[in-house]
């Protein structure tokens, strides 16, 4: 049995916010806009705002002040299609691009999770901009659960959210550790017993000065071209064909900040000699030629995908010689010392898109240890990266679990006794 959303909450839009009143960081009431939902700390609860107004200003604007525990969301523009919901933590005004659902008979947490499960794209009105209105949303079927059952379901989702938050905090902490480790690996290296060399302040005789700073005295420092077979070579981008004929080509999305991921393969024409010329071999390094300044020069080591595969013209291919391992050179090109060189030398007239050339890549200054130490460095970084991947896998599983439970519990497809809901929340 279901009722309608309007029977469990009051839906109401926000208030126009004159630009002349915006920008005040102090006041009696937060006056939030759609952009405030993206502020750090506002991932679920609104705890920060860019604008505040006095009670007198709110009265002059005839502004609706929404109570704590109301759920707010975008009601117009592309932002509504993102399906973001937030819970207010104090009396708050929202602007006229937003709407609030204030619970009447519904549990506030259950209402938040229910609204988070609804795709507003299914309720958009036709027009120049996507929009939803309170009449349409009010007619969304809403499960007629008793308050205790609503609270039990909400506790399960709150427990899952807490587990996800803890996992993401661990991921962020491990990523910070990895960033520090990368700095140490490329300034101190790894000794045969698997430890970082002592800092230069403690053992200055172990180090020498280089254009990139102090490095272990056994390491070589030179232009990247010294460790390459031939010059960097740009790829080729033919038109994609409909039918599979034994050849594929990489999409630009195959290069990520985490390296090469063959997640975007396209069918390539078989009879094109330039496709054959751009085919990759295991161990080739791919470098993105164009992107934002922050992301230009993404690098990844190509791994055989099981059939001939070429790369596009917005990537370049470099081949390490026998003195350097592909896995180490990939790490080297992702190190902060080399990333700074790439970003500094990238050129372009667009503020959002810059490019690097083969000549820029050849002239990058790198520091290279002998191969056994290269392997030790790769293995040390891999341990930390696998910890991050394990935590990321845990977060994905929790999100999948939450999505499945949302479908089952919030729709009433699966009914669970309240006592069992409480036990399930404790087990998350």
Quote the percentage of the chain above a pLDDT of 90: 80
Average pLDDT, the chain: 92
Tens of pLDDT, residues 8-47: 999 999 999 999 999 999 999 999 999 999 999 999 999 9
What's the pLDDT score for residue 194? 92
Say how many C-beta atoms besides its own lie within 10 A of residue 144's C-beta.
15
Closest CA to 87 of 102, 76, 77: 102
Is residue 259 within 8 Å of residue 284, measured between CB atoms?
no
What's the pLDDT score for residue 422? 67
Helix pair 147-185, 418-427: axis angle to 10 deg: 10
> Structure tokens of 91?
């009396």
**Domain architecture of the chain: domains with CATH:** 2-143 (3.90.220.20), 145-197+372-428 (1.10.287.1120), 220-368 (3.90.220.20)
Distance, CA of 348 to CA of 130 (rounded, Å): 35
Tens of pLDDT, residues 318-369: 999 999 999 999 999 999 899 999 999 999 876 678 999 999 999 999 999 9
9-38 CB burial, b ≥16 within 10 A, e <16:
bebebbbebeeeeeeeeebebbbbbbebbe
Closest CA to 293 of 237, 362, 341: 341
pLDDT confidence bin for 306, thresholds 50/70/90: confident
Tens of pLDDT, residues 157-197: 999 999 999 999 999 999 999 999 999 999 999 999 999 99
What's the pLDDT score for residue 350? 67
428, pLDDT greater than 70: no
Alpha-carbon distances of 355 from 56, 228, 348, 349, 364, rounded to whole Å: 53, 21, 6, 10, 15
Quote the percentage of the chain above a pLDDT of 70: 96
Closest CA to 184 of 204, 164, 213, 149: 213
What's the pLDDT score for residue 424? 62
What's the pLDDT score for residue 369? 97
Tens of pLDDT, residues 96-136: 999 999 999 999 999 999 999 999 999 998 777 899 999 99
pLDDT confidence bin for 418, thresholds 50/70/90: low
Distance, CA of 397 to CA of 305 (rounded, Å): 26
**Within a 13 Å sphere around the CA of 198, how many CA atoms are in the beta-carbon half?**
7
What's the pLDDT score for residue 125? 86
User: Per-residue pLDDT averaged across 244-273, rounded?
Assistant: 90
> Structure tokens of 349?
């007239």
User: Per-residue pLDDT averaged across 277-281, rounded?
Assistant: 94
402, pLDDT greater than 60: yes
Q: What is the DSSP letter of 63?
A: P
286, pLDDT greater than 80: yes
| ∠ Cα 346 351 352 (to 5°) | 85
């Amino acid at each position: 049995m279901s009722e309608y959303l309007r029977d469990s909450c009051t839906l109401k839009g926000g208030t126009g916010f004159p630009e002349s009143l915006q920008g005040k960081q102090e006041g009696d009431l937060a006056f939030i806009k759609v952009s405030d939902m993206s502020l750090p700390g506002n991932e679920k609860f609104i705890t920060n705002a860019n604008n505040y107004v006095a009670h007198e200003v709110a009265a002059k604007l005839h502004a609706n002040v929404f109570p704590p525990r109301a759920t707010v969301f975008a009601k117009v523009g592309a932002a509504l299609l993102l399906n973001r919901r937030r819970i207010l933590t104090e009396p708050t005004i929202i602007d006229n691009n937003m709407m609030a659902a204030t619970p009447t008979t519904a549990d506030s947490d259950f209402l938040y999770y229910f609204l988070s499960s609804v795709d507003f794209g299914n309720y958009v009105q036709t027009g120049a901009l996507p929009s939803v209105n309170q009449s349409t949303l009010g007619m969304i079927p809403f499960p007629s659960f008793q308050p205790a059952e609503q609270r039990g379901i909400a506790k399960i989702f709150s427990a899952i959210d807490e587990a996800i938050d803890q996992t993401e905090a661990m991921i962020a902490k491990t990523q910070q550790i990895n960033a520090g480790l990368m700095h140490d690996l490329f300034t101190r290296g790894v000794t045969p017993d698997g430890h970082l060399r002592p800092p230069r302040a403690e053992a200055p005789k172990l180090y020498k000065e280089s254009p990139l700073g102090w490095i272990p005295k056994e390491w070589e420092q030179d232009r990247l071209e010294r460790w390459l077979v031939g010059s960097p070579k740009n790829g080729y981008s033919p038109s994609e064909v409909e039918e599979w004929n034994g050849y594929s080509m990489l999409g630009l999305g195959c290069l990520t900040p985490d390296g090469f991921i063959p997640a975007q393969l396209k069918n390539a024409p078989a009879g094109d000699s330039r496709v054959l010329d751009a085919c990759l071999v295991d161990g080739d390094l791919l470098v993105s030629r164009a992107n934002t300044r922050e992301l230009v020069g993404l690098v990844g080591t190509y791994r055989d995908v099981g059939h001939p595969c070429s790369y596009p013209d917005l990537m370049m291919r470099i081949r390490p010689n026998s003195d350097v391992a592909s896995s180490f050179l990939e790490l080297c090109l992702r190190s902060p010392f080399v990333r700074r060189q790439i970003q500094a030398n990238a050129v372009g007239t667009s503020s959002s898109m810059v490019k690097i050339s083969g000549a820029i890549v050849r002239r990058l200054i790198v520091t290279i240890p002998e191969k056994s130490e290269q392997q030790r460095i790769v293995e040390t970084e891999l341990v930390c990266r696998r910890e991050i991947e394990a935590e990321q896998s845990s977060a994905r599983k929790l999100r999948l679990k939450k999505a499945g439970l949302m479908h089952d519990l919030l729709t009433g497809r699966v009914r669970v006794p309240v006592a069992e809901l409480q036990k399930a929340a404790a087990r998350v």
